Amino acid sequence: MKLNKLKVIAVLICTIVIASVTSACGIQSEITIGTQTYTETKILAEMYKALIEENTDLNVDIIPDLASSSLVINAMKRDDVQMSTLYTGEIFNNHFAISGTKDRQEVLQEAQEGFQEHFGFTWMNPLGFENTYAFTVRKELAEANGYTQISDVKKDMDSMKLGVDTTWLERSTDGYPAFSKAYDIKFGQVFPMEISLVYSAVANEQVDIVLAYSTDSRLKAYNLQTLQDDEQFFPPYDASPVLRSDLVNKYPEIQDAIAPLIGNLDADTMISLNYQVDIEKKSEREVAITYLKEQGLLKG
């Protein structure tokens, strides 16, 4: 019995020593990526992981389903997480003083400068798509009436039924009242509902137009078309990889590894990738790896 205990102790000591030596020699380093609950952030995390592990000596872990971007940011501040995907419109959530502009390049610059100054985060350039609110109609309705941008529906607004997230209706500064003023549009009927229900509601012709999310897989599933925000009412929400700057300083090769993604993922691509997970029930990892291989970014 005593011999068995000694063996266990010896194994534990060896394990601790090996782990310490490995860490000290820089042979094994861990990066933890945090994701929000929605699909695209999980797919992107799997892309980052695959590219980093193939092109560097680093190992990557993923913590999925952090309930909100604010939780992701707090986890990064604590160094529980070192990397994530965030959206430029995050600056409107009172993290620091901002100008209030909705210009995409200026919002990006404020995100990059503000998160560096206040949190020590390196906010990389956008991946190429944004995930923001988007007014959405059935494709056949858009084609029949020539709807390509929000202003186009003004001529028919009195007869149109709007389905919209309940909370958006109640927000005075960036909700329905402000939208109506900006576009001079007021729909004939308004139906408050959960955001998850708007896609089927418009597809089934229960309503004519809905406020949806611009990269949701159900846009493809229900054959819906988003309308251009020609008055730029909604703030830009361009997706970017964001890393702790101390991590970047220690391992600059991380940015090089994921650089091929920057500027190369458009909204249609992201909708398609989300569709494969949400509707076709593939795993986030499978979808990410397949896409990277198709693009020639991974071997094998």
Over the stretch 234-284, which tens digit does the pLDDT of each residue have?
999 999 999 999 999 999 999 999 999 999 999 999 999 999 999 999 999
Rounded Cα–Cα distance for residues 120 and 162 (Å): 42
Domain closes at, from 192, 226, 260: 226
40 & 126 share domain: yes
pTM listed for this prediction: 0.87
Task: For residue range 127-179, list pLDDT tens digits in order.
Answer: 999 999 999 999 999 999 999 999 999 999 999 999 999 889 888 778 999 99
**Same domain? 63 vs 207:** no
Token pair of 85 as six digits: 């995907």
Task: Establish how many alpha carbons lie within 13 A of residue 216's alpha carbon, considering only the half-sphere containing its beta carbon.
Answer: 24
22 and 65 belong to one structural domain: yes
* Mean pLDDT of the chain, nearest integer: 91
In this prediction, residue 110 carries a pLDDT of: 98
Residue 38's CB is within 10 A of a number of other CB atoms, namely: 15
pLDDT of residue 300: 62
- Which pLDDT score is estimated for 167? 86
What sign has the CA pseudo-torsion 196, 269, 230, 138?
negative
CATH number, domain of 203, equals 3.40.190.120
Domain membership flag for residue 186: yes
119 in the same domain as 24: yes
Answer yes or no: do 124 and 142 share one domain. no
Q: How confident is the model at residue 5 (pLDDT cuts 50, 70, 90)?
A: very low
Strand partners of residue 34: 63
| Within a domain: 140 | yes
- Provide the domain count of the chain: 2
pLDDT of 285 strictly over 80:
yes
Last residue of a domain, one of 184, 207, 226: 226
Question: Tokens 């995100």, residue?
Answer: 111
Helix orientation angle between 39-55 and 267-278, rounded to the nearest 10 degrees:
100
pLDDT of residue 219: 97
pLDDT in tens, 77-106: 999 999 999 999 999 999 999 999 999 999
Q: Say if residue 110 is in the same domain as residue 176.
A: no
* Length of the chain counted residue by residue: 300
pLDDT, tens digit, for every residue of 190-216?
A: 999 998 899 999 999 999 999 999 999
Residue 9 lies in a domain: no
End residue of a domain, out of 190, 206, 226? 226
Contact status, residue 263 vs residue 174, Cβ threshold 8 Å: no
Separation between Cα atoms, residue 219 and residue 140, nearest integer Å: 13
- What's the rounded mean pLDDT across residues 42-46? 98
Q: Where in the sequence is the domain holding 141, given as residue range(s)?
A: 133-226
Whether residues 90 and 54 fall in one domain:
yes
Contact 30, 59 (CB under 8 A): yes
Is the model's pLDDT at 4 over the cut of 50?
no
Statement to judge: residues 209 and 154 lie in one domain:
yes
